[in-house]
Structure 1
Amino acid sequence: MKKGFPVLLAVVICVLLLGSCSENNDECVYQPDTSGIEVSLQFERLDSALLGVKSKEDLRDFLNDYPVIREYFLRRNQYPNDSVMMQVLYGKFQNPHIDTLQQEINRVFGDLSSLKEELNKAFTNFKYYYPEAELPEIKFIATGLDNDMFISDSLIVVGLDYYLGDSAKYRPLGLYEYMLERYRPSYITPSIMLLYGISSKYNKTNTSDKTMLADMIGYGKSFYFAKHMMPCTPDSLLIWYSRKEISGSRKNEDIVWAHFLENQLLYETDHLVKKKYIEERPKTYEIGEDAPGRIGTWLGWQIVRQYMERNDEVTLHELMQNTDAKEIFNKSHYKPKK
């Protein structure tokens, strides 16, 4: 996932009742009273403006008006000069198949009312927890599958053509099938909130702590944050797991934990070892064929959850400000049930 925040790290908000969420082991977390908070995000839809350019002059004007899209989404630095960039892009947007892409976007997203409502709800919760924070402008774009998302403090850009889902005629190129799973409309808002949660602006970490545990807790805090911005969103949407993967992780949580303990992974600092449990992979083969990738980040989420359950005086803001991963782990008294 691409981002504007300096730290790396994905919708439909679950409209199921709490009981039906529980059938999938997904409970709604605390939903704050936001009745006194009014949020009206500034949206701008630009997909047809770019896909439908009629002349090079129109394209040049668009690129000058939206430098973030020019630099990030359309990768200006990959061209030897602006003249070559203009020629290539104009030829691309004059391709007759571009009309099909626009039709697909209209079919899947319509007038964007559902997505806008989800984003307004998530940022209303965000304002509850961070009342002084400035809200970003949100722009929707389509660039012919050049990029997915950009996030900074003041601006969010969403590439709608990346999130058309399984039924789309055109899908992003160069991605494994398990990665394509997350590029559906239902993942847009969770991805945005997760990237806010991993941002160093909100998620404070000790950069000198290079242990696996520090990485696990850092990611765990980001998932915990995102869940509270979207209280009834299924965990699978937040961590990009399938329902089967979430269910299997929960059922085998004690086995996963035993693997980490037996192999003394919590305080491992070797990057090549850590990446097997933290970074993008289809499976964590060291544990088993059914263990999903990034299992260490999921385990960190469970530790953070238990820490917050056992220390209910700690606020979300205080959790996100805590840079001591070892303290969070110790005070969680984490031990999964068999």
Structure 2
Amino acid sequence: MRPFSILAGLALPALSIATHAPSTLDEDSSTQLPLVIWHGLGDDFERDGLQEIAALAAKVNPGTYVHLVRLADTGSGDRQATFIGNVTEQVAAVCSQLAADPILRTAPAVNALGFSQGGQFLRGYVERCNVPPVHNLVTFGSQHNGIAEFQDCGVGDWICNGAEALLRAGRWTDFVQSHLVPAQYFRDPVELDAYLEHSNFLADINNERSTKNTSYKRHLAALNRFAMFMFDEDTVSVPKESSWFAEVNVTDGSVIPLQQRPLYTEDWLGLKQLDEQGKLDFKTIPGQHMHLSDKVLADAFKEYFGAIKDSLPSSPGLVVQQAS
């Protein structure tokens, strides 16, 4: 079992780990798409666990070019950026970074893998820019409907403890919403009005405000597959059902599944469209937040990141779907 991260989840502009360029496999006329990975809160691109996952992705699907998102040149700076920063600016930086990569920008599409908060940030990338376009998006333990509690921090972890203090003291202030990363996907239904007014990131990419961004829906609905993995014993990401866009009352524990929410019934993001087309997958895996086995990862890589049978034409700003 791989405790890849037991924190909460963000990501960063990119380091390319695997030296394999995306290749066309002549034996079956298939194309292996590059893979972009955005890690979670408290992690960094230099961690052994992330390097091993990049290597596993290339082993399961030979020819995979793996691009690790980062927001700093050092591991310590990268980790700090998962706690402190403006998520809107970070997503914009990743948009520029992926578009500038010579392999990613010339690929017909890319696959994307988000761990914890990196999952909703990659979704923000899809909605806001999506060049290069994402073919399949897979998220593990991501907080697509936000968090209603902040995590416990380790003794002596001053970055985490400082962020927690800011979140508890003034999560809806402009300063916190533009500087503290977890606050920008904090969403307590009890404080919904304050959230809709002040949220710097999540309320926007979830299209929850009265004015809807139609391009967000168009881009997300163009995904070939969107798979959301929830950890069934997750006590770090609260509520765990946020991984599936569910609404949870943290006081009584009642759960409103995505399919019963206006987000779905009015299709603010194209999730209903994806679901009706059989392209929205709700997956459950055992264990605590971000405790992943190689088997779970390898199975996901085989199912969602394998070679594409037919070549995909390039289409800037839109995700090109595999021909059926």
For normalisation by structure 1, the TM-score amounts to 0.26
Larger Rg: 1
More helix, by proportion:
1
Q: TM-score, normalised by structure 2?
A: 0.27
Answer 1 or 2: which has greater strand percent. Answer: 2
